Chains A and B, each alone.
Chain A
Amino acid sequence: MGAFQWLMKKITKVFGHSTNALFYTLLYREILKEINEITKKEEDSLVILKEIGKRSGYESCERHSSIFKFMPGSPKKILEYFEILWVVVFGKELDDYSYEEIFKEDSKYNDYILKISKCPICAGYGQDNEDTFDFSKTKKEKTEGLACGLSGMLESVANYILKLKRNDYRIQIIEQTCMARGGDSLQFICKIHDYKQWKELLDSKDQEKDTLNAYFGERLEEEIVQETKLDIFDKLQDVISIDKLEEYLDEPLETLKERISDIIRDKLNMEPDQFFDYFRNYEEDMVRIIGYLGIHLLNEYGGILERSLKNEWFAKVFGYLFKQIKETVLLFIPLDVIRDYNELLVNFLEGLAPIEMVDNIKTFTGKDTINLLFEGAQMALENLGIEFTELKENVWEELKKEREDGLISSESSAADKTRERVPQIINIFQEMLMIITDILTLPIRVLISESHYGLKTAINSVISEEEGLYGSIKDRFDRIFDQIEEIRK
């Protein structure tokens, strides 16, 4: 599984609100039954369920649009990431599936058929007395099955991403076979249309339009986002989307430099040395900006950091963690490593930035660089809500103070809950510190291996992806996400 897929799945799982899957499925069934109570026509009910799925998927996307900014913008890629869409919409891993590409003549994109062997929506349907929606009353060949609400959600999420990425193609997702209707699997066909074809397709569905008009009064209209002025992140986003993470990991430093140069030329319309010339004689500020932007860039991925820091308690914990790292970073990183980092920065800038600027940076000690980076990062964290001036010497004093002030409830159940969370929180601290320690060994590996095997070799430590640095970091993040999930429960 690619890094991007893994990250998106973890983020959406941890930050969505989950319930037991059987409750989900039974609620879904009840919604269909209530629709059918009104329409009394099974085929109409399925059309309406799909529309409700589309609308609810669209609402979720609107509320969390920043997460989708970093999803891949090509229809083909979106289908490749169907697994993520399934998790985003359904919150459940897609256990066993296959897809087949169907060649489409005179078309930029082919159609895809997705075959999913296990469908949670259809699980056990028909075995309980309350499963009263009768599929035998649906006669039309093109009628979708029980998962049509789900296909509506998937279609809506996929098209929202395309709209957000200013892509003029749209995806139609139709449920072709349904296990509740006797199929051997859940099967979707995904057709990719350009916007004109898409509009024509929607207009041509007279019967569906009539049904929706009769019961809803209007259809969910989708507009093409007009080309508006883009900010620098929007411009860079096409190139630095985290779905390209794997590509970056594959490329050594020189190729990375070339790529950065291309980005600056393409997106900012200037030569790299012109771009870096803006920072000449302000090299210290430039390093601070890297720290500052690093935090803000992290926050760009769904605004998760900013939202988390709105919680006063979490902001304090994060603040203490940051302070601790800032104070101890120089104790546990060998000076040689820090020098290597500095050298890495110099190597990176050579050929990209003006010579005078590179010379100025060469005068920085490794300690200077680290301190400047942390200063920048601290400024960004202050922007995002951490009040560093209000923090105590350490987190234990903070907890003690809150108890005395009565800010943490003295009610035993609340105290119990807090105590229950302590092991998870300590685990998160520990894992984060271990990640940082792992990462801090990176420059030595990069510099040594650059001339031999490149950046990927360094990251994977010549053993294997799973056992190397990348694998180690992934494992640690897996554990952190697990602990967060435990706390949220």
Chain B
Amino acid sequence: MPDLGKYVVEVLLAYGVSVAILVGLVAVSWRQSARMRRALQAVEDRKHG
């Protein structure tokens, strides 16, 4: 861990907030993608008997 001096809170907060937003966005996008793929597959399976 580098010595962040008197700005330790600001720097860590900026990294924490940004990483949380990016990870959240990727996770939500993957989850929506997987859910939609399953839903479409179910309807197509039903259609093709």
Q: Does A associate with B in a complex? A: no
